[in-house]
Amino acid sequence: MTRDTRERLRFVANGICKSFATPVLHDVDLEVSVGDIHGLVGENGAGKSTLAKIIVGLETADSGSLYLDGQPYRPINTADSLRAGTAICAQELSLVDDLSIAENILLNTTASPWTRIRRKCAEERASSLLSLVGLEHSTPRTLVGRLSLAEKQLVEIAKALATEAKLLILDEPTSALTVPQAEVVHGILRDKVCGGITVIYISHRLGDVLNVCDRVSVLRDGEVQLTEDCDKLSEKALIREMAGVDADFDAPPRPTVKSAPLHLTVSGLRTSKLPNPISFNCKRGEILGVAGLAGSGRTELLNAIFGLDKRIGGSIKIHTESGTTEPRNPWQSIKSGIGLVTEDRTKDGIFRAQALAFNVTIAGLGRISDRSGRLIRRKEVGAVARLIEALRVRSTGAYQKMRELSGGNQQKSMLARWLHCESQLLLLDEPTRGVDVTAKLAIHTELVRLRDSGITVIAVSSELEELQSLCDRIIVLSNRNLVAEFHRSNWNQREILAAAFSEYDRVYEPSSAS
């Protein structure tokens, strides 16, 4: 980064205002220099995504003006903004499941819809982009619907890179990625800005933002609180600006797990997606972390325990005071006291169009009905009110529609669903994915409280810091094998990462940052 490129501004926003039902952006000014990676941080609902959408023409501002390379710029849709040279890698993935990777990448184009598709040419281009983002093992003809969430996110990034836009906006590009995968993406971004491209980088991962960005702007309640060079900032300072309070990030002190009885025994477990037998135990009242790269079988392990994937070998035993059960499908699992919070909330977690009460009670309808299966509204209202209160779910009441709740509150209500069932073993797949800092801390606090009340938690997370602050023990999966186990007293990030990579062919060099 040289001084003179700093002087030139690629993108300027001036006094941008936007209201939906309530004001979302208020008088936002933003200046982004050519060749910068400009971070944009803030809590959920601070207005980051809305600002991004305005820049690429997915929304229009109520007032204010935009300039691209000094020229007034007012895109009316994404095609328009693509022509002007801006592209977005959106938080909600915009891929078509029924098209191949190559075809998806091709969709982001300014060419006329009547252009003939040269399959070979498109596939070659896709192929080179795939190896760039670290998906060299996927072929361009693979249907996107078959990819995991992390792989889809990488394809989404490849799709944005394919546009060769001069202003690239990445909205939470690494939320589903593991640390090394995110590192690959950051490497690409650094390369791209050397080539004169400008990036606006939106993320909840503050460490990443400080690591990869040149400058950062903090949004709070639709206003820019601060714009500063990254080397003058710390995570603590960012959080202070975002939340307006000093959030405590240190891992809470933790008494070690006493000799508690076994709660779960997994032995020789195999499914079609987990070909190698997996065995481990979990004690009552323990928080067990599952680490590993995206696609290492973490989600598949939780699904297998819950009985969503049919097992082809081994056994899963749940030990309770009243005896041992071996659940084989979700229904039996729930009866045995297991609850699963899935990775992709909108896909297989919440019922968006239904009420909060519906979402909270759906897995335990027997608890709000009489013997004949008739629902009793009084019981429903009571149960839901208690859970909303206990988990501090922010809503207008039990009958507010789920889609009107923020991500963090939706996530809390997923927990509430299993607390309603009085589940004793919670399987949590990325429990804080896409929720803001305060909601994340609230969820962590709640999990520790549950643990202390004797509930067992198995948590999958791509953020090692999260597992380290939360867990009593961490098991590591690598390429669908269980390869290592670490206790709270004797782990370090480097060894966990090394274990996560141990079953893959390529050798991983821990980056200097870790």
Partner 1 sequence: MNELGSRVSRILEGNLIFVSLLAIVVFFSLISESFLALTTLSTLLNQLPALTVVSIGMTLVLISGGIDLSVGSVVALSAGVIGAGIAILGLPLPLAACLGILTGALVGLANGGLGAYLRLPIFIVTLGMLEVSRGLAYLVTDSQTVYIGATIQSFALPWAGSGVSASILVALTLVVVFELLLKKTIFGRQIVAVGSNESAAEVSGIDPRRVRCTVLVLSGLLAGLGGLMNAAYLGSADPNAGIGLELSAIAAAVIGGTSLMGGRGSVVGAFVGVLIVSVLQIGLAQIGITEPTKRVITGAVIILAVILDRWRVA
* List of residues contacting partner 1 (CB under 8 A): 306, 308, 329-331, 333-334, 340, 342, 347-354, 358, 362-363, 365-366, 369, 373-375, 417
Nearer to partner 1, 249 or 351 (CB): 351
Nearer to partner 1, 163 or 336 (CB): 336
Q: Which residues contact 45 (CB under 8 A, 6 or more apart)?
A: 406, 436
Nearer to partner 1, 249 or 331 (CB): 331
Q: Is 295 left (phi over 0), alpha (psi -120 to 50) or beta?
A: left
User: Radius of gyration over alpha carbons of the chain, in Å?
Assistant: 24
Contact status, residue 438 vs residue 247, Cβ threshold 8 Å: yes
Distance of alpha carbon 36 from alpha carbon 5, whole angstroms: 9
CB of 59 to partner 1, least distance (A): 17
CB of 341 to partner 1, least distance (A): 9
CB of 270 to partner 1, least distance (A): 21
CB of 133 to partner 1, least distance (A): 27
Alpha helices in 94-232 (DSSP H): 101-107, 119-132, 149-162, 179-194, 206-212
Distance of alpha carbon 96 from alpha carbon 58, whole angstroms: 18
Nearer to partner 1, 351 or 504 (CB): 351
CB of 290 to partner 1, least distance (A): 18
Contact status, residue 65 vs residue 72, Cβ threshold 8 Å: yes
Nearer to partner 1, 187 or 330 (CB): 330
Local structure of residue 349 (DSSP, 8 states): T
Q: From residue 394, how far is each of 43, 224, 247, 391, 442 by CA, in Å? A: 15, 25, 20, 9, 12
DSSP 414-459: HHHHHHHTT-SEEEEESTTTT--HHHHHHHHHHHHHHHHTT-EEEE
CB of 310 to partner 1, least distance (A): 13
CB of 359 to partner 1, least distance (A): 9
Strands (E), 45-92: 63-68, 71-73, 86-89
Nearer to partner 1, 116 or 347 (CB): 347
CB of 448 to partner 1, least distance (A): 24
Distance of alpha carbon 375 from alpha carbon 500, whole angstroms: 47
CB of 306 to partner 1, least distance (A): 8
Distance of alpha carbon 230 from alpha carbon 357, whole angstroms: 44
* Burial 203-226, CB ≥16 within 10 A → b, else e: bbbbebbbebbbbbbbbbebbbbb
Nearer to partner 1, 232 or 347 (CB): 347
Nearer to partner 1, 30 or 457 (CB): 457
Nearer to partner 1, 180 or 327 (CB): 327
